[in-house]
Amino acid sequence: MLTLTFFYEEKIKKVNNIECIRLLHMDKDLSDLKIDREECHHCGAIWLNGQHIWSGTGKLGDPQTLSNLVCGISNSPKCINPSHVKGHIYGDKDTWEKRASFINSKIAKQEI
């Protein structure tokens, strides 16, 4: 636990047009909150406290999906995604092929 000490002023009164103040001392206990932020220097992916966060939406991300959609495209040796394995596709996660198939099925339904 961290204790923050600060002072604040309390106006007491005016004496001969001079404002008198008193400094009051106050201690406040603060939590041990810590946020660890990592950013991939190659693609800009962000992890907060070890959890991937999508930079475009701020929503919780999945490092395996990130690997399929971003890391696997460039296969940079500078990639910091702990789930990325060069050449590996996480089949149960979102991929560009699945996205293309979804879009093509929507287009096919509109053509009927």
Domain boundaries, the chain: 37-97
- 91-101 tens-digit pLDDT: 889 999 999 99
Helices (H), ranges, 17-88: 63-66, 72-74
The span from the CA of 19 to the CA of 21, in Å, is 6
The runs of H, that is alpha helices, within 35-95 are: 63-66, 72-74
pLDDT in tens, 20-71: 555 555 566 667 788 899 999 888 899 999 999 988 888 999 999 999 999 9
